[in-house]
Amino acid sequence: MSSEYVELHAHSCFSLLDGAATPEALLDRAAELGMGALGLTDHHGLYAAIRFSIAAQERGIHPIIGAEVTLEDERHLVLLAETQQGYRNLCWLLSRAQLDHEKGAARLAWAHLPNHTQGLIALTGCRQGVLAAPLLAGDRDGARRQLAELRALFGAEHLYIELQHHLRPDDDALVADLAALAHEASLPLVASNNVHYARREGYRLQQVLTAICHNQPLRACRNQLYPNSELYLKSGAELAELLGAYPEALAHTAEIAARCQVDLNLRALAIPPAADAGDADARLRALCEAALSRWYPTGEAAARAQLRHELQVIGQVQLAGYFLMVWEIVAWARERGIQVRGRGSAANSIVAYLLGITNVDPLEHNLLFERFLSTETRTMPDIDLDFCSRRREEVIQHVYERYGERHVGMVCNYVTYRQRSAIRDVGKALALPQELIDRLAKSQGKWGLPAEELESFAVSTQTWEQYLALCEAIQGYPRHLSIHVGGLCITAAPLDEIVPLERATMPGRVVIQWDKDNVEDAGLIKLDLLSLRTLSAIDECLTMIQTHYGKSIDLDALPLDDPAVYDALQRADTVGAFQVESRAQQQALVQMKPREFNDLVIEVALIRPGPLQGGMVHPFFRRRQGLEPVTHVHPLLAPILAETMGIIVFQEQVIRVAMVMGQFSAGEADLLRRAMSRHRAEEEMARFRERFVAGAQAQGVAAATAHEVFDKLAGFASYGFCKSHAAAFAKTAYDTLWLRAHYPAAYYCGVLNAEPMGFYAPRVIVSDARRHGVAVRPVHVNLSGAICTLEGGGEGLAIRLGLQYVDGLGETGAERVVAARPAGGYVELEDLCRRTRLPRRLVEQVILAGGLDELSAASPRRDRRGLIWELGRLRYHEEALPLPLAPDGVALEPMTYAEELLAEYGSTGVAAEGHLMELHRERLTRARIGTSQTLARAQHGERVRVAGFVAVRQQPPTAKGFAFFTLEDEWGLMNIIVRPQVFAAQRTEWVGATVLGVEGVVQRAHGQINVLAERATKVK
Ligand SMILES: [Zn+2]
Ligand SMILES: [Zn+2]
């Protein structure tokens, strides 16, 4: 059954907090009605244009791209893109409407319309539309004037008078007025239903969204609500009943639909002209060949063959310009000494390696170029670059300058409704008691509350059920836009003609209306310029090595077989290292015992929530340790999974399994992988599954086996790393461990300056540095820099904590202390005060941190309590400081060591030379409480009591209620496992304590020691 009527005016949930259906839900309904086309006209945006087009094509529905704008006089106008030119004009107009006004208050100026209406079809809109609004206000002449203006702008061929009928009392009259006006002006009519939800039931959610939008409970915004539930997607027959007197209005919808032909594959507009004019392919080849002899001094033949293959593919898909662009950005950063590393699938490519974009040799690690790029790939390859976090902004600015403001935009993120935000917003709209909302928002896991608790709130079952249903329905709906962490979209044509731009929440920033998936699907170029604090730490470490040892280290040239690195890995001695320092990683390391770089690659890919949840990690370790035979679900998988002992570890393996067992083409297999990693709809996955099982059966694989393999793929792919990404991360992990092993003082110093980063707080880093023989010295007003620095020479290098570690001082305060410091150093407290004019509370923090303990080698050690007293007597105002003061002779108890230590923790978060547990040690020893040293000697099954400073407390959602603690004492770290019932029994102790005593049983396995806690004990 096919109908003549096409809906041209529909809002999806991307009409933020107004439309109440996903684009897919609208399309599904359209398909049910047999509608051959559907127009999407969200307010001031093309957010859903790509997603809608793809989903429409999948359903055999012709997509029409449009938008509804609000003009500066608050009247609405619907614009549909008829041609490519029209699409560009629409983007441009929407960008103007967004950028000319405050965020969230887009309005289109009439003045922007001239010269930008070509290829656009205008419909006169709803009751707030350009015609209906003046007519409803009784201003017929006003309506005539608007019509004349629109006609002059769009021409009679591109202007339709829109009829809507929602069974409101005055709709008959309004429709008749509009039709009369059309007749008088000889303009055509068109019917629409201003759709806001797919089915009638959707009206309730639409009302709730309106209430959320107005930040009011439903009952307080009656005037903003549509009075009935007629704004659903109707069939032609339903509309004919309402607008039967104007059959041409219905017939015109299909005509307009047929006229609108826009292709949203924008790839042709993607690549900016290469850095230098000329033949991009030849230039790329020359660059790669020049680098070839450096990286492959021997064994050049294989490299040359791979290079030839990749260049051929790159040439065929016309992406040489893209590689040159990335190369130019990377080279620019390197020239300025900015640390940069490529990650992600780009590391599969020898071209990326030769251009210096990535630093992992794809040949040596047997990486799969096809995961990155193939001639079948329909989307742009994805290159992610990590930069030193302090200098990333310079690179972004460079990109803007190099390619022009109008050609570069930040990719956005849709912040969507999740459980908690839904509970809060919907609860507020329904005016439920705040206490009940809070209670539900805090309850984890499933929806719902115990019945008895619900009763106490006096909410009817009906309201409650409706509430939960609405919360469920709103899941995944976009709520607002934010900026993607580092995604830049770079285009050849001006961006505002490709995708609408709008203001970001961050002042002065502009985002495009598409997120990274949309950018990818549109065939545009996206570059992720991310910031990585580890690279700042590495950067500083290298600079300090240069300064203090006179050596310049080329990390790219490091051999990957240094025993010192593997020794540390096997002992799980990895605090401060990139990616392998977490507790889960450490536990895995002692089982994995990495012996070579590839082991580290597997480790990085494997110890992730996905594989852990998918139950792949333990079988892998058992196999590696020879405790379980290596088996394959089916012999077809053997060659693919041999390198990982029959377990799926890498995304590349998903692709290859899909190709070999499911008989997917490389392009299809990559589509499958992407669908899995984007958590695509269940129906879509079901289609892939069917296809996979059929392909497997065709080769004689049993259906049950094929299903089993597909389950494994699906369970894995959503979280998996690609091997190249894991290899890039493993290389950074290796570099950090290498630097830590050979230049520990410089490395720990770099890490302390890059904080906050990694898994551990700075105080754990400080203790770890000491355990590796690096002395750490406290903050000192005369010896500290603003950041941490190295003191002494050669092997005796020590870290001096930087003034920035003093609480509240910050970069500005720390720099002030350094800048105001006289050549001979500050001589007295008042000298410091007078010269820096720091606020009193900050001076106090400096004192507590120990910054004035010993002003010079000659002067005696000053007591901190005495200094704070002295500060009080100064009657110190930042401005006027009466000096000097005579001693007042008050006798003060000097601070004890314990007080000083606590003061340092309080002020700087670290204790440079001491450890909190020292303060408890005497008592603990008397009570026969063990230490990390005694624990290291304990036997499996032995009952122990230990105590330590809580370094890490974790309750991962994947751990089924288990909690994990890392305790630290003067000598090292201790791992504690707390079972759910033990945790529940002493919740307060487990959650609240900073110093924790634990009684439990030692578990020794694979060289790892854990204490299985039986109870928590008080230490103080
Ligand atoms: Zn409207
Ligand atoms: Zn509308």
**Residue 365 contacts residue 601 (beta carbons within 8 Å):** yes
What spacing in Å lies between the alpha carbon of 11 and ligand 1's midpoint?
10
Write out pLDDT tens, residues 697-740: 999 999 999 999 998 887 776 667 788 889 999 999 999 999 99
What spacing in Å lies between the alpha carbon of 432 and ligand 2's midpoint?
30
Ligand nearest to the CA of 41: 2
Ligand nearest to the CA of 130: 1
What spacing in Å lies between the alpha carbon of 102 and ligand 2's midpoint?
21
Ligand nearest to the CA of 132: 1
Write out pLDDT tens, residues 453-499: 667 777 778 888 889 899 989 988 999 888 888 889 988 889 999 99
**Residue 248 contacts residue 188 (beta carbons within 8 Å):** yes
Query: What average pLDDT score do residues 320-339 get?
Result: 92
What spacing in Å lies between the alpha carbon of 9 and ligand 1's midpoint?
9
**Residue 492 contacts residue 280 (beta carbons within 8 Å):** no
Ligand nearest to the CA of 194: 2
- Which protein residues have a CB closer than 5 Å to ligand 2 (ion)? 68, 194
Say whether the peptide bond before residue 188 is cis (omega within 30 degrees of 0): no
CA distance 649 to 647: 6
Within 13 Å of residue 320, how many CA atoms lie on the same side as its CB? Answer: 20
What spacing in Å lies between the alpha carbon of 278 and ligand 1's midpoint?
50
What spacing in Å lies between the alpha carbon of 495 and ligand 1's midpoint?
27
What spacing in Å lies between the alpha carbon of 627 and ligand 1's midpoint?
68
pLDDT at 884: 43
What spacing in Å lies between the alpha carbon of 390 and ligand 2's midpoint?
46
What spacing in Å lies between the alpha carbon of 172 and ligand 1's midpoint?
18
What spacing in Å lies between the alpha carbon of 467 and ligand 2's midpoint?
27
What spacing in Å lies between the alpha carbon of 88 and ligand 1's midpoint?
22
CA distance 599 to 570: 11
What spacing in Å lies between the alpha carbon of 254 and ligand 2's midpoint?
19
Q: Which run of H or of E encompasses 954?
A: strand 943-954
**Residue 355 contacts residue 288 (beta carbons within 8 Å):** yes
What spacing in Å lies between the alpha carbon of 194 and ligand 2's midpoint?
5
DSSP 257-282: HHH-------GGGTPPPPSSSS-HHH
What spacing in Å lies between the alpha carbon of 74 and ligand 1's midpoint?
10
Average pLDDT score over the chain: 88
What spacing in Å lies between the alpha carbon of 107 and ligand 2's midpoint?
15
What spacing in Å lies between the alpha carbon of 127 and ligand 1's midpoint?
7
What spacing in Å lies between the alpha carbon of 45 and ligand 1's midpoint?
13
Supply angle C-alpha 963, 966, 971, rounded to 5: 160
Query: Which of 320, 370, 728, 305 minimizes the C-alpha distance to 556?
Result: 728
Query: What average pLDDT score do residues 678-706 get?
Result: 86
Write out pLDDT tens, residues 616-674: 788 888 898 888 899 888 999 999 998 888 888 888 888 889 999 999 987 788 788 87
pLDDT value at 3 more than 50: no
Ligand nearest to the CA of 19: 2
Q: Which run of H or of E encompasses 952?
A: strand 943-954
What spacing in Å lies between the alpha carbon of 61 and ligand 2's midpoint?
21
By percentage, how much of the chain surpasses pLDDT 70?
Answer: 94
- Which protein residues have a CB closer than 5 Å to ligand 1 (ion)? 76, 126
> How remote is the C-alpha of 112 from its chain's centroid?
36
What spacing in Å lies between the alpha carbon of 164 and ligand 1's midpoint?
11
Query: Which of 388, 382, 411 minimizes the C-alpha distance to 724?
Result: 382
What spacing in Å lies between the alpha carbon of 80 and ligand 1's midpoint?
14
pLDDT at 331: 94
Query: What average pLDDT score do residues 892-920 get?
Result: 86
Query: Is pLDDT larger for residue 273 or for residue 749?
Result: 749
pLDDT at 883: 43
> Residue 447: which pLDDT band, with cuts at 50, 70 and 90?
low
What spacing in Å lies between the alpha carbon of 200 and ligand 2's midpoint?
16
**Residue 271 contacts residue 319 (beta carbons within 8 Å):** yes
Supply angle C-alpha 537, 539, 543, rounded to 5: 115
Ligand nearest to the CA of 125: 1
What spacing in Å lies between the alpha carbon of 77 and ligand 2's midpoint?
9
Predicted TM-score (pTM) of the model is 0.79
Say whether the peptide bond before residue 778 is cis (omega within 30 degrees of 0): no
Ligand nearest to the CA of 11: 2
Bridge partners of residue 530, in order along the sequence:
386
